[in-house]
Amino acid sequence: MAEMKSMGVVGGGQMGSGIAQLGAVHGLDVWLIDSDPLALSRASKSISSSIQRLVSKAQLSQAAGTSALGRLQCTTNLEELCSADVIIEAIVESEDVKKKLFLELDKIAKSSAILASNTSSISITRLASVTSRPHQVIGMHFMNPPPIMKLVEIVRGADTLDETFNATKALAERFGKTVICSQDYSGFIVNRILMPMINEAFFTLYTGVATKEDIDTGMKLGTNHPMGPLQLADFIGLDVCLSIMKVLHAGLGDSKYAPCPLLVQYVDAGRLGRKRGIGVYDYR
Ligand code: CAA
Ligand code: NAD
């Protein structure tokens, strides 16, 4: 497959904005789509400030930063994606909502386009099944924050072709990422291992074993993680963590994946983490 020239990203939240930034910085024409215009204006600001941080640390020249911003268009109109070589979906972690979007993308995208999902846990095979091109559907799972984290986990659905895999891997490598490859089972590699740890941190808090600060300090200093598991949950978004635990629980069928009631309660209360100003910790 020829080198990709243009990319669509659907969902302009923390992940979609970072993925759009990577595309623009690495020379692609990028459309960033969100159904919420406010999300798009937040995304524009966060991309500009992230690029500024990279420029101030001499990891990107001012000229490259400016031309990257010139290659990025933000819009609510999905139809703009009709000429994109690849479209990466980064909307809410819900199978039903993602399936609806894949159905629409399949109609809008040109026939050669790859449809990728940044899903944290949901079956790529099932997302692909609503399209007429399951061989061109793939999981391209970036880590948060996408401009900084070095990994992309690629997930092959049951029908994903080698050609699709190779083109997706080449794109991730163009972004400077190391690629790992997972079969299509709930949570793939990273979240199969990470989320039960985060869920267990909630149980540790819920059952009164220790304070949130001691749980986080324990894992930061005791195991050299950059953030404690509760801080990381706030960073990821507690809604995202809960959705992933539900997918693991339903997909792997073991009660060890049952979401902690405290995690459920925080999400019910709208305590979604840093993005809402309050989660396990209060950032206001
Ligand atoms: N854009 C540009 N630069 C950024 C940035 C961004 N969005 N975010 C952080 N940085 C840079 C900072 O400028 C800083 O650079 P220098 O060290 O050169 O000064 C560096 O990254 C560190 O940032 P900070 O000093 O602000 O803060 P920090 O030291 O706490 O690092 C962090 C922030 C990189 C996020 C670090 O805390 C970390 O690695 N945390 C763990 C993140 C992690 O585990 N992510 C994966 C989550 S799981 C996932 O993503 C999968 C899923 O499906 C849920
Ligand atoms: P987020 O809540 O920050 O952003 C989601 C965005 O999608 C919102 O701006 C919302 O307005 C938009 N959206 C929702 N439905 C839409 C639709 N039908 N059309 C267009 N836009 C729509 O979420 P996020 O944390 O960026 O996560 C996005 C995806 O990436 C999820 O699948 C998540 O599991 C995955 N992911 C998240 C992380 C993380 O650390 N947060 C890491 C890796 C992967």
> Nearest 5°: CA angle at 175, between 174 and 181?
85
**Residue 13 dihedral angles phi and psi, to the nearest 5°:** -80, -155
Same domain, 70 and 198: no
Q: Is residue 282 part of a domain?
A: no
Same domain, 123 and 260: no
Nearest residue CA, atom 51 of ligand 1? 143
Same domain, 218 and 252: yes
pLDDT at 114: 98
Ligand 2 pocket member 117 (CB < 6 A): no
Closest ligand 1 atom to Cα of 46: 7
- Domain boundary pick from 117, 150, 182: 182
- Domain boundary pick from 136, 166, 182: 182
Same domain, 135 and 243: no
Same domain, 40 and 109: yes
Same domain, 10 and 134: yes
Same domain, 169 and 207: no
Mean pLDDT per 10-residue interval, the chain, length 284 residues:
91 98 98 98 97 95 96 97 98 97 98 98 98 98 97 98 98 98 98 98 98 98 98 98 98 97 98 97 97
CB 206 within 8 A of CB 261: yes
Same domain, 109 and 194: no
Same domain, 150 and 246: no
Query: Minimal CA–CA distance to 18: which of 72, 66, 67?
Result: 72
Q: Is residue 196 part of a domain?
A: yes
Look at phi and psi of residue 188 and say left if phi exceeds 0, alpha if psi is from -120 to 50, else beta: left
Ligand 1 pocket member 27 (CB < 6 A): no
* Annotation says 153 is catalytic: yes
Same domain, 175 and 272: no
Exactly one of 117, 186, 191, 199 is catalytic; name it: 191
* Annotation says 111 is catalytic: no
Q: Is residue 230 part of a domain?
A: yes
pLDDT at 3: 84
- CA 182 from chain center: how many Å? 16
Q: Which ligand is nearest to the CA of 49?
A: 1
Nearest residue CA, atom 2 of ligand 2? 13
Q: DSSP of the chain, one letter per residue?
A: -PPP-EEEEE--SHHHHHHHHHHHHTT-EEEEE-S-HHHHHHHHHHHHHHHHHHHHTTSS-HHHHHHHHHTEEEES-GGGGGG-SEEEE---S-HHHHHHHHHHHHHHS-TT-EEEE--SSS-HHHHHTTSS-GGGEEEEEEPSSTTT--EEEEEE-TT--HHHHHHHHHHHHHTT-EEEEE-SSTTTTHHHHHHHHHHHHHHHHHTTSS-HHHHHHHHHHHH--SS-HHHHHHHH-HHHHHHHHHHHHHHH--GGGPPPHHHHHHHHTT--BGGGTBSSSB--
Nearest residue CA, atom 43 of ligand 2? 143
Ligand 1 pocket member 53 (CB < 6 A): yes
Domain range spanning residue 144? Answer: 6-182
**Mutate which of 17, 140, 148 for ligand 1 pocket (most atoms within 8 A of beta carbon):** 148
Q: Which ligand is nearest to the CA of 198?
A: 1
13 appears as a binding residue in the annotation? yes
ipTM of the prediction greater than 0.90, yes or no: yes
Same domain, 156 and 99: yes
CB 153 within 8 A of CB 183: no
Domain count, the chain: 2
Q: Is residue 194 part of a domain?
A: yes
pLDDT at 2: 77
Exactly one of 120, 123, 186, 199 is catalytic; name it: 120
Ligand 1 pocket member 243 (CB < 6 A): no
Q: Is residue 42 part of a domain?
A: yes
Q: Which ligand is nearest to the CA of 197?
A: 1
Nearest residue CA, atom 45 of ligand 1? 144
Closest ligand 1 atom to Cα of 118: 53
- Domain boundary pick from 164, 182, 200: 182
Exactly one of 118, 121, 123, 153 is catalytic; name it: 153
| Rounded Cα distance, 279 and 54, in Å | 28
11 appears as a binding residue in the annotation? yes
Same domain, 175 and 269: no
* Annotation says 3 is catalytic: no
| Rounded Cα distance, 118 and 137, in Å | 11
What is the CATH number for 139?
3.40.50.720
Q: Is residue 281 part of a domain?
A: no
Ligand 1 pocket member 148 (CB < 6 A): yes
Q: Is residue 283 part of a domain?
A: no
The number of residues in the chain equals 284
